Amino acid sequence: MTTLPSADADSRLESLYRDQSRELWALFYAYCGNAERAQDAVHEAFLRLQQQTTEEIRDPRAWLLQVGRNWLRDQARRKGNSTIKTDLLDVHPGTREEPVSDLLGSEQRDQIRAALQALKEEDREALILRYALDWSSQRIGETLGSSAAAVDMRLSRARQRLANELEQRGYEND
C-alpha cells in the first residue's frame, strides 16, 4: 500500500518511475499507437501520482495504468482519433543512432503503425513488449498473465497477422 505524503515519497516515486516507466510507455503505446502521446501519458500519470495527497494507493502500477489510459482517452476525444504521426522532423538520415541502411521511410512507418493498431490489443501488447522493450517471453508472460510458451505462440500469430495487415496496406518489403 502506498501513502504518498511521507518523508520519503520522492524517493519512492523515483524508484517507481525507474521500475515502471518503460513498461507503462509500451502499454500506452499499444493503447494509442502514438509514441509521443504515450510518453506524455506516462508523464501525466506520474505527475498526478506525485500530486496525489488523499488517496492511499494499493497498486501503484495499476493506478498509473488506469490514469494514463483515461488521459489518453480524453486526449483522443479532444483531438480526434488520429493515431498516425508523421515523423519527418525526427532524427536526420544517417545519424550515429541509426545508419542510413536501417532507416524506414515515413510512409513505411505509418503503414506499420496502422497495421499494429489493426491487431487485437493483446497481440499488439505482446509485439510491443518484445520489440520495443526487448523483453523475454517469460517476462511478457508474467505481465500479461500467461506462460512463456503461450507468449511465443501469440507472438508468432501476431507476426503473421501483421504481415497480412501490411500487405493489405500495400507495404512493400525491401
Partner 1 sequence: MTERNTSSERLSERDVDRLLQRFFVREVPAEFRQEEAPVAIANPQLEPLVRSATPTPSRNLAGLLGILVSATCCLIVTLFIPGESTEKVSTNPFPVVGGNTRPQPDADRSVPFEERNHLPFTSLGNPDDATGSETEATDPLGPELEIEIFPLRPDKPRE
Which is closer to partner 1, CB of 39 or CB of 75?
39
CB 57 within 8 A of CB 87: no
Q: How far is CA 28 from CA 1, 34, 73, in A?
A: 24, 8, 11
CB 34 within 8 A of CB 73: no
CB 105 within 8 A of CB 55: no
Q: How many residues bind partner 1 (CB under 8 A)?
A: 45
Interaction of residue 167 with partner 1, rule CB under 8 A: yes
Question: Is the sign of the CA dihedral 163, 168, 169, 174 positive or negative?
Answer: positive
DSSP state of 56: P
In the bound complex, what is the minimum distance in angstroms from residue 80's beta carbon to partner 1? 21
DSSP state of 53: -
Among 48, 61, 69, 159, binds partner 1 (CB under 8 A): 159
In the bound complex, what is the minimum distance in angstroms from residue 139's beta carbon to partner 1? 13
Which is closer to partner 1, CB of 74 or CB of 172?
172
Sketch the per residue contact string, 88 through 127, with partner 1: x for CB under 8 A, - otherwise: --xx-----xx---x-x----x--x--------------x
Identity of the amino acid at 115:
A
Interaction of residue 22 with partner 1, rule CB under 8 A: yes
CB 165 within 8 A of CB 118: yes
Q: Where does this chain bind partner 1 (CB under 8 A)?
A: 13-14, 17-18, 21-22, 25-26, 29, 35-36, 39-40, 43, 46-47, 50, 87, 90-91, 97-98, 102, 104, 109, 112, 127-128, 131-134, 156, 159-160, 162-163, 166-173
